[in-house]
Amino acid sequence: MNIGLALIHWAIVLSMPILLVGLVNRTKSWWVGRKGPRLFQSAYDLWRLLGKRPVVSTTASPLFRAGAYVVLICGLLAASMIPLLGQFAPLQFSHDFVVVAYTLGLARIILMISAMDVGSSFEGMGAAREASFATFAEPALFLLIGTASAATGMTSFADLIGHLHNTPHYAIIVAPLTIALLILLQAEAARIPVDDPMTHLELTMIHEVMILDHSGPELAAMQYAAALKMTLYAGLIAALINPFNPLADPVGGVLVSLALMLTVAVVVGCIESLSARLPMRWVPAYLLIASVAALGSMLVIGLGANGV
């Protein structure tokens, strides 16, 4: 087992959520001509929240406070199987991607239950939106994995992404797959145009409205888990593009991966600055673009195998 790479992987997983959120916010500030918050501002925010005593609704059940920690643990477990650096993940076995998707699914259902727990209509609305958009996002991820699986014949997440670089049609399918992952990132990490983290109107929120009643350390756990999810998807995009194999060339692989993840954050920030949130009823159509992109690359693989 490659202990050095595993340590680097964990260092990235733990630090990137702070840095990426900071970078997205800096990018958005730059577009509107402000200096913006410090890069590590969210670390200070989290630290401040950790010291606070939580306030819990009298309506809430005991599940409410536990939920935040379950969400965080699920995120960390999924992070150990995501090949952020390319063809490597600390925990790697056949069909680990199913575990990744379903662990994140557990985090989602617990998040929704915590939201429903306080009885507020707005939080129920957020949970309903999260659940409904997830049904459109989830198939896209599996179509993407199905493409990679058919192209490489491999079974573990890291191998799928890593070996994809050596397949004959990589150059054609990399663009649609990246777009699909970017859309998934925006949906899963609650970014514009699917969701607006900065909005101040409960009616228009998805993720933020679900954690309205969380406070103190629980809010910190929820926010860190959300940023972690963005890191995971940014890492997947980086691994998909990164030409270096971290097992053969660790220095190049890690550096390029880092640079790509930061680029993804800048891109996300630019999209947020230049576009508005979509109307809620258009979001499923936007998510379908991801599925269609993945289907397109499936078609390329299929036709390519037939020698077209």
C-alpha to C-alpha distance for 69 and 148, rounded to whole angstroms: 33
Of these, 65, 165, 229, 277, which contacts another protein (CB under 8 A)? 65
* Contact call for residue 142 and another protein (CB under 8 A): yes
Long-range contacts of 99-107 (CB under 8 A, 24+ apart): 100/157, 101/138, 101/141, 101/142, 103/74, 103/77, 103/78, 104/74, 104/75, 104/78, 104/188, 104/229, 105/134, 105/138, 106/70, 106/74, 107/70, 107/71, 107/74, 107/75, 107/78, 107/225
How many other C-beta atoms are found inside a 10 Å radius of the C-beta of residue 39? 15
* Contact call for residue 55 and another protein (CB under 8 A): yes
* Contact call for residue 191 and another protein (CB under 8 A): no
Of these, 23, 90, 138, 162, which contacts another protein (CB under 8 A)? 138
* Contact call for residue 48 and another protein (CB under 8 A): no
* Min CB(77)–another protein separation in Å: 6
Task: Return the number of the residue (54 or 252) whose C-beta is nearest another protein.
Answer: 54
Task: Return the number of the residue (251 or 306) whose C-beta is nearest another protein.
Answer: 306
Task: Return the number of the residue (109 or 267) whose C-beta is nearest another protein.
Answer: 109
Q: Which of residues 245-274 bind another protein (CB under 8 A)?
A: none
* Contact call for residue 139 and another protein (CB under 8 A): yes
For residue 119, which phi and psi values (nearest 5 degrees)? 80, 0
Q: Which of residues 84-123 bind another protein (CB under 8 A)?
A: 93-95, 97-99, 101-103, 105-106, 108-109, 112-113, 116-123
* Contact call for residue 166 and another protein (CB under 8 A): no
* Min CB(303)–another protein separation in Å: 9
Piece of 177-185, 244-252, 265-273, 294-302 that binds another protein (CB under 8 A): 294-302
* Min CB(130)–another protein separation in Å: 9
Return the DSSP state at 48: H
C-alpha to C-alpha distance for 245 and 274, rounded to whole angstroms: 34
Piece of 8-16, 139-147, 223-231, 259-267 that binds another protein (CB under 8 A): 139-147
* Contact call for residue 289 and another protein (CB under 8 A): no
* Min CB(260)–another protein separation in Å: 26
For 251, residues 6+ apart whose C-beta sits below 8 A from its C-beta are none
C-alpha to C-alpha distance for 222 and 215, rounded to whole angstroms: 9
C-alpha to C-alpha distance for 215 and 229, rounded to whole angstroms: 20
Piece of 23-31, 72-80, 165-173, 179-187 that binds another protein (CB under 8 A): 72-80
* Min CB(262)–another protein separation in Å: 30
* Contact call for residue 66 and another protein (CB under 8 A): yes
* Min CB(58)–another protein separation in Å: 5
Of these, 7, 131, 175, 255, which contacts another protein (CB under 8 A)? 131
CA distances from 33 to 29, 36, 289 (A): 6, 9, 32
C-alpha to C-alpha distance for 27 and 262, rounded to whole angstroms: 11
* Contact call for residue 231 and another protein (CB under 8 A): no
How many other C-beta atoms are found inside a 10 Å radius of the C-beta of residue 1? 7
Task: Return the number of the residue (66 or 248) whose C-beta is nearest another protein.
Answer: 66
- Please report, to the nearest 10 degrees, the dihedral formed by the alpha carbons of residues 15, 214, 286, 137 taken in order: 70
